[in-house]
Structure 1
Amino acid sequence: MNSTDMNAIVLDRFGAAAELTPRRIPLPAVGDDDVLIRVQFAGAASWDTEEREGHYDNMFGIPTTFPYVLGWDAAGTVAAVGRNVTRFDVGDRVYAATMPAARGGCYAEFVAVEAEFVAHVPDRLPTDQAGAMAWDAVTALSGLDTLGLQPGETLMIFGASGGIGHMAVQLARHHGARVLAVVSGDDGVELARRSGADHVVDGHREDVPAAAREFAPDGLDAALVTGGSAAAEKALHTVRESGRIAWPNGVMPVPATPPGVTASAFDGDRSRTTTDRLNAIIEASTFQVHLAGTFPLEQAREAHLALAGHYVGKLALSVS
């Protein structure tokens, strides 16, 4: 490491996308249990806009200090490791799910992340896809775990063309479930089909409950909801009595679920146990992350404007 500072995108106060500012800031400190990642690609996610506007301020019991660096997902190469870290060597290709509130985020040339939450990038996965993957993929896998999904069961994924959704389609199909994907737009239909969904319905143009009843005449076994809406709540009535419904914490509005089903909110598990399982699936399947757009780091404002519009899959920042 030849320099003590790095390029980053910072916030000096909460607000609109215009508050995202390029700046040189100090490199993050590397603790004994940390991995310092030289970031090549970072995920730009819908929750980044919420955080940028201040909606996460003090959410994790940590007061926001400025300048603040957004970014929960990254992939790149190991630049340094703490003295207790033995799983990684300098130069290894890795990805990570982090929490910016505590350490500073991934909209920067370097990010320090506890080794527990860092994973090797599977050989068959490109680094740009890995950079936008971590939180969505572990959330999708955690959702399927919460549902207790079994091979042969029927699963409706609401929001199946989004980041979590299109990854959940692939993970559920790998697990042997039959998947009904509810998406938005022609591009969403195409992505869900390419992801392996057994049947795809455009929630803005088609009758989702009718499609669900045709797909599972005795009722769906389970549903994963990645975005709250009145349409989602209506569709959930096609889950059979004693079926299961799950959604990640943060989905708003919280779905109103029909009586007789098991309803669960959950958090994504970013621990090594989950990323080891995820990597095994990636290596054994055709899993991929759909990138709708990649922006240079200095165009983070433009990326945030794109987050407010229609896109499918994920957006990413190219850092180095």
Structure 2
Amino acid sequence: MNDRMMKAVLYDRYGDPGVLYVGRVPRPEPAPGEVLVKVRAFSVNGSELAARAGRLRLFTGRKFPQRVGLDFTGEVAALGAGVTPYAVGDRVWGVLGRTAGFGSAAEYVTVPAERVGPVPDGLDLVDAAALPVATTAVTALRDKAGLRPGERLLVRGAAGGVGNAAVQLGRAYGAEVTALARAANADFVRGLGAYRAVDHRTVRPADLGRFDVVLDTAGTDLRAFRRLLNPGGRMVTIAFDQKRPAVSLGYVVASTVHGHGRVRFFSGNPLRGHFDDLARHVVEGRLSPAVDTVFPLEETAAAHRALEAGGVQGKYVVKVA
């Protein structure tokens, strides 16, 4: 077998999960400042589903084949020139940067050294793949919203990848957490630390009460959820309505000058310091990986299909043999 080639998940056209297949592509080599990671696992994220379906073609274009995979865990396989914090064999996790696009659904990935961090000792690399996106929850609650002990926190999409981490962290930060999730996931989010679990399909936003912080992972109905803020409240969204992204963006911008409670939007783009924070939260017992199902690499399409169907409890993780 040619060791200059590797397996990777690809697609040759936009479409449903059935367009995904495992093909062979050249194995990358680390450039100066980069590390080559032998991937052990990655998780499936909503942005990848949107890209694969063609909803982000303004950014992804029409050059094929295209790749999937945003985050990863694995071991350092090689170092580019000038990389000093790591050694071959180190266990790391990371997220590809905004400019890198997708591509971690593969046997190897190259990434700038500042975009990975050490995985805590004793944490299985497959389980750990559920956590890199939790850096988004840390940034949203601690840095963007400034969540304080005793405040009331509403987490929308509480059973998902970022949402489940936000519930855990909200509880750890001393907040009273209300989790919006399907009724079937109520016990799951309560087990994560939610004080109250509410079925988002049967309860109107206006009936939820008032909150000091709202964390939104859906990007829809932003106006309705912003109205739930107490004076001095803060709302953070990490998503735009995929069907009407311009409307969502327009509302976020308008919120800075109209009414109380600015809606803060950001897209996770973690660096080494974020991963150090993540590891610290894990070691201190504030955060644990929530893995719904582990799929083999050859069944990545099934993992996409499962996430699209809804009802995930934590993360769908794909193990790279």
TM-score, normalized by length of structure 2? 0.88
Give the counterpart letter for 1:131 in structure 2: A
Cα-to-partner distance string for 1:45-87 (whole Å, 9 max, x where unaligned):
222111112333352xx75643222100110111111121111
* 2:211 counterpart of 1:220: yes
Q: In 1, Cα distance between the equivalents of 2:19 and 2:108?
A: 21
Give the counterpart letter for 1:153 in structure 2: E
Mapped contact 1:34–1:115 kept (Cα < 8 A): yes
SS in 1 for 2:265: strand
Identity %: 32
1:39 is displaced (CA, Å) by: 0.8
Q: In 1, Cα distance between the equivalents of 2:53 and 2:135?
A: 25
Partner of 2:316: 315
Q: In 2, Cα distance between the equivalents of 1:70 and 1:313?
A: 19
Mapped contact 1:38–1:78 kept (Cα < 8 A): yes
Q: CA RMSD in A?
A: 2.4
1:164 is displaced (CA, Å) by: 0.8
- Runs of 4 or more off by more than 6 Å in structure 1? 255-258
Q: Superposition pairs for residues 214-293 of structure 1, below 5 Å?
A: 219-230=210-221, 233-252=223-242, 254=248, 259-293=259-293
Q: In 2, Cα distance between the equivalents of 1:269 and 1:102?
A: 11
* 2:51 counterpart of 1:51: yes
Moved more, 11-20 or 113-122: 11-20
Partner of 1:193: 190
1:126 is displaced (CA, Å) by: 2.2
1:228 is displaced (CA, Å) by: 3.2
Segments of 5+ residues of structure 2 without an aligned counterpart are: none
Partner of 1:79: 77
Q: In 2, Cα distance between the equivalents of 1:201 and 1:160?
A: 10
Moved more, 242-251 or 80-89: 242-251
Q: In 2, Cα distance between the equivalents of 1:74 and 1:172?
A: 25
Q: In 2, Cα distance between the equivalents of 1:175 and 1:64?
A: 44
Q: In 1, Cα distance between the equivalents of 2:127 and 2:288?
A: 7
SS in 2 for 1:102: coil
* 2:302 counterpart of 1:302: yes
Q: In 1, Cα distance between the equivalents of 2:294 and 2:110?
A: 23
Partner of 2:165: 167
SS in 1 for 2:66: coil
1:40 is displaced (CA, Å) by: 0.9
1:124 is displaced (CA, Å) by: 4.2
Q: In 2, Cα distance between the equivalents of 1:229 and 1:249?
A: 8
Mapped contact 1:138–1:274 kept (Cα < 8 A): yes
2:119 to 118, 121, 132: 121
Q: In 1, Cα distance between the equivalents of 2:61 and 2:100?
A: 9
Mapped contact 1:99–1:105 kept (Cα < 8 A): no
Partner of 1:37: 37
Partner of 2:128: 130
Mapped contact 1:242–1:262 kept (Cα < 8 A): no
Segments of 5+ residues of structure 1 without an aligned counterpart are: 214-218
1:237 is displaced (CA, Å) by: 2.4
Partner of 1:216: none
